[in-house]
Amino acid sequence: MPKMTMIEAIRDALAIALREDPRVVVFGEDVGRNGGVFRATDGLQAEFGEARVADTPLAEKAIVGTAVGLAMAGMKPVAEIQFLGFAYEAMDQIAAQLARIRFRTQGRFTAPAVIRAPYGGGVRTPELHSDSLEALFAHTPGLVVATPSRPYDAKGLLLAAIHAQDPVIFLEPIRLYRAFREEVPSDAYDVPLGRAAVRREGSDVTLIAWGPTVTVAESAADQVSARGIDCEVLDLRTLAPLDRSAIQASVEKTGRAVIVHEAVRCAGLGAEIAATIMELAFYHLRAPIERVTGLDTPYPPPALEDAWLPSVTRVVEAIERVMED
């Protein structure tokens, strides 16, 4: 079985999708000849042609808006927004259009497009290249929001997104694109949308993370295990719709929860998860829920981002707080 980085796994998924379904079209800024600024589409235009792997004008609204029209007309668009921060440019087309075609037409038309976007911090980018905006999309009924934390999931989740009947916002953690390799089957496979994965089983604290913070949570779990604290790490993988039963099952077991996300805290997905735990598992809680998040500021310049981002140390401190008394 080949070992792949996440970016290689994503490219592999796109190649499979282009091969298996003639309706699939891959497009965005610099995805054609250049193979994408992160090389997610490297070589795909040479293999599948300019019609199916297309460079578009520099226009985020048009990238999403044409994806809506393509999908309504029976194609399977897989569009790329070059960095998630530029999805702001396309918010009407994402939230008011893409998400609502099925609802607006009562199922007469659907728009099962996939919008891929690199996101997340820690890689010293200019402004608007590192923002974590998942809560905006999770707050928008009609969208599926998925984010992998490892190469195997990146391939399977992306193929599941392309096979889905609903529009999917597919968020790719930039920091993990080349962070590590793991074995990834060469064949096609789906990692089901809507299902969280337990990365590490434990009995004392549930660490809930997704995308770039999963490895942070895993490192924190490693650190505290030496002191006899047994953490469960839950990788949500799909952020909308939330896998509420996985959250419930884990917190009922551990009685403690620490939620880790890069996005700003206020009205972040951590708040929704905390409320879900209150609704479904309140009587199992032994300590208040902790959130380890970004600050309520715009994403900071590179010189400040290490201090701003959730770190292993801050997650360890949060674990210690929920383990007090």
Partner 1 sequence: MSAASGENEVEDVHVYRFTEETAPDQVLNEAGERVGELPENAADLALQWYPFMVFCRKFDERAQLLQRQGRLGTYAPFRGQEAAQIGSFAALRPDDWIFPSYRELAGMMYHGLEPWHALLKSRGHPNAGHMPEGLNMAPAQIAIAAQVLHAVGAGWACKLQGTDRVSVAYFGDGATSEGDFHEGMNFASVMQLPVVFFCQNNQYAISVPVKRQTASPTIAQKAIAYGMEGLRVDGNDVFAVYQAMRYAVDRARRGDGPTLIEAVTYRLGPHTTADDPTRYRDAADVEAWAHRRDPLVRLRAWLTRQGLWDDARQAACEAEAEARVRRAVEEMESCPNKPLEEAVLHVYAETPESLASQLGARRKGAT
Active site residues: 129
If one asks whether residue 200 binds partner 1 (CB under 8 A), the answer comes out as no
Beta carbons within 8 Å of 45's beta carbon, 6+ residues apart: 31, 32, 33, 35, 53, 54
Q: How far apart are CA 94 and CA 100, in angstroms?
A: 9
- What backbone torsions phi and psi does residue 319 show, to the nearest 5 degrees? -60, -45
Name the minimum Å distance from CB 199 to partner 1. Answer: 22
* Nearest-approach distance from CB 215 to partner 1, in angstroms: 27
Positions in 225-254 near partner 1 (CB under 8 A): 241-242, 244-245
**DSSP SS3 for 3:** strand
77 lies in the site for partner 1, by CB under 8 A:
yes
Q: Which is nearer to partner 1, 77 or 151 (CB)?
A: 77
Q: Is position 106 an interface residue for partner 1 (rule: CB under 8 A)?
A: yes
For every residue of 140-176, DSSP letters joined together read STT-EEE--SSHHHHHHHHHHHHH-SS-EEEEEEGGG
| Beta carbons of 65 and 41 less than 8 angstroms apart | no
Query: Does 282 help bind partner 1 (rule: CB under 8 A)?
Result: no
172 binds partner 1 (CB under 8 A): no
Cα–Cα dist 128/84, whole Å: 8
Interface residue with partner 1 among 33, 47, 105, 286 (CB under 8 A) is: 105
- Minimum distance from CB of 141 to partner 1 (Å)? 5
By CB under 8 A, is residue 144 in contact with partner 1? yes
57 to each of 27, 61, 196, 251, how far by Cα in Å?
10, 11, 36, 47
Provide the b/e sequence for 52-80 (b: ≥16 CB within 10 Å).
bbbbbeeebeebbbbbbebbbeebbbbbb
Q: Is 34 a residue that touches partner 1 (CB under 8 A)?
A: no
Among 39, 61, 163, 265, binds partner 1 (CB under 8 A): 61
Q: Is residue 44 a contact residue for partner 1 (CB under 8 A)?
A: no
Helices (H), the chain: 6-20, 44-48, 60-72, 91, 101-104, 134-138, 151-163, 213-225, 244-254, 269-281, 302-308, 312-323
CB 20 within 8 A of CB 198: no
- Residue 21 near partner 1 by CB under 8 A: no
- Amino acid 74 reads G
Instruction: Return the range that interacts with partner 1 (CB under 8 A); candidates 13-21, 96-104, 182-190, 315-323.
Output: 96-104
User: Which one of 28, 65, 118, 270 is in contact with partner 1 (CB under 8 A)?
Assistant: 65
- Work out whether 20 is an interface residue with partner 1 (CB under 8 A): no
Position among 109, 192, 278, 286 found at the interface with partner 1 (CB under 8 A): 109
Q: Which is nearer to partner 1, 279 or 296 (CB)?
A: 279
14 binds partner 1 (CB under 8 A): no
User: Could you tell me which stretch among 9-17, 117-125, 137-145, 206-214 binds partner 1 (CB under 8 A)?
Assistant: 137-145
Q: Which residues bind partner 1 (CB under 8 A)?
A: 25, 51-52, 54, 56-57, 59, 61-62, 64-75, 77, 92-93, 96-97, 102-110, 141-142, 144, 164-166, 194, 241-242, 244-245
